[in-house]
Amino acid sequence: MKSWIEDLQLAPLTPFDSLDQPAIGLYQGTFLEPRFSIERPTEGLKNKLLAKLKSSFTQKKWLYFFVASPDVALSGAIVDLGYAGNAFCSLIDLKTGEMIFDHSWLGVPKLQSKVGNRFFPDLQATFDNFSTSDEKKVRIKLTPAADPDSFLLSVEIENAIKANLRLSNKNRPPMIALANPTSSRLTYTQKLNLLKAEGSILVTNHGEYRFDSDSLHTYAGLDLTIAHPLHQTEWNWAFAGGQELGQHEQIGFNLAAGNHLGGLNENCLWLGERTLELPPVRFINDKKDRSQPWKIISPDRAVQLEFRPLNLHAEDRNLILVKTEFEQWFGRYSGTIQLNTGHTLVVENLTGVAEEQKVRW
């Protein structure tokens, strides 16, 4: 019987083994040279160009960011679907539940909406609407910083938000999963949690919010997903971090359920300098009113969490080639995670998000 809540194995240097088979699985670390097709490209310039063209329409990429302090939480994503692009940005007052800012934009993929093909430590993405005099300037950018394992996140939304944040990974191994939900192409997802966050967000008519990297209640997370998904994809996702109750230590978790990874478990826990695998979980919520508390529970009850929503970012788009129903709620997590050592982690009012998404690509 598999023992859950044990350290993730280190990612291999290459996502393909000596027999040229993909190393499907959940790991800690990163892949420096990802490959997205199970079959190697056919020789010849014409074949390579055709393969690249096909991949540009089937590959979906997004980089998501989440930054929280005791006062506010900022989240957003830059998305390249091959034939369409978009971005969103949301800022919530965690004390009142008020959504200070929430907006999304469409953009031309690979021109206005760009997401890189490389994983940690080289994550990067940019959304720029190339504003004219008729629309507000929007520029969201994540790039590696000069110092190792750090990133610069900037958000500039004319007459609304100006954020400059440094996100630093201090010995928190990232998670990376390699899955094969379709027959010939691969899906990667990499999550980073408990990044140190410092800097500020200046909000028109609200003032300035500062982020203290020494606070146990301040953290950031990143999600880079490069996917070749099923035509119809559904998932739930939970992501949070903060201080373990009664301890001078931060913990964070990533939990998901759905068909987006073809059944592969991506659930994990960040604890100290360790990244551990968590068991599969069920998401239970009121489909008619998701503002009611959610339950996230594993069959063995090792994970028992309650999520209390505060407010949400939602999108319901039908762009012919893609249709999406998306709700991402900001809120607080409380509950327990039972380690296989017998120790029980207790969390109370941990800041994070929970989402439900249905997509036809």
Q: Where are the domains of the chain?
A: 25-31+58-360
Residues whose CB falls within 8 Å of the CB of residue 146, separated by 6 or more in sequence, listed in order: none
List beta partners, residue 232. 360
Q: Which two tokens stand for residue 68?
A: 């929280």
Which residue has tokens 């800012």?
A: 101
Q: Which regions of the chain are under pLDDT 50? A: 1
CA nearest to 330, candidates 154, 90, 123, 116: 90
CA nearest to 224, candidates 128, 314, 120: 120
Distances (CA, A) of 338 to 68, 297, 307, 344: 25, 12, 17, 4
List beta partners, residue 360. 232, 323
Distances (CA, A) of 183 to 89, 91, 269: 34, 39, 30
Which residue type is seen at 323?
A: K
* pLDDT tens-digit readout, 186-244: 999 999 999 999 999 999 999 999 999 989 999 999 999 999 888 899 999 999 999 98
Q: How far is CA 148 from the centre of its chain?
A: 21
Q: How far is CA 201 from the centre of its chain?
A: 21
For residue 1, the model assigns a pLDDT of 46
3-state SS class at 53:
helix
Pair 172, 273: CB distance under 8 Å = yes
3-state SS class at 48:
helix
Which residue has tokens 């998404």?
A: 357
Query: What is d(CA 301, CA 277) in angstroms, rounded to the nearest whole number?
Result: 15
Which residue type is seen at 194?
A: L
Which residue has tokens 């039972």?
A: 338
Residue 53 backbone dihedrals phi, psi, to 5 degrees: -65, -45
Pair 208, 202: CB distance under 8 Å = yes
For residue 203, the model assigns a pLDDT of 97
For residue 135, the model assigns a pLDDT of 77
For residue 127, the model assigns a pLDDT of 98
Query: What is d(CA 336, CA 354) in angstroms, rounded to the nearest whole number?
Result: 17
Pair 290, 299: CB distance under 8 Å = no
Residues whose CB falls within 8 Å of the CB of residue 188, separated by 6 or more in sequence, listed in order: 15, 31, 34, 36, 119, 176, 177, 178, 179, 224, 225, 226, 227
Residues whose CB falls within 8 Å of the CB of residue 3, separated by 6 or more in sequence, listed in order: 340
CA nearest to 312, candidates 289, 291, 287: 291
CA nearest to 119, candidates 166, 170, 159, 61: 61
CATH number attached to the domain at 25-31+58-360: 2.40.370.10
For residue 76, the model assigns a pLDDT of 98
- DSSP assigned state of 11: P
For residue 341, the model assigns a pLDDT of 86
For residue 57, the model assigns a pLDDT of 67
Which residue type is seen at 13?
A: L
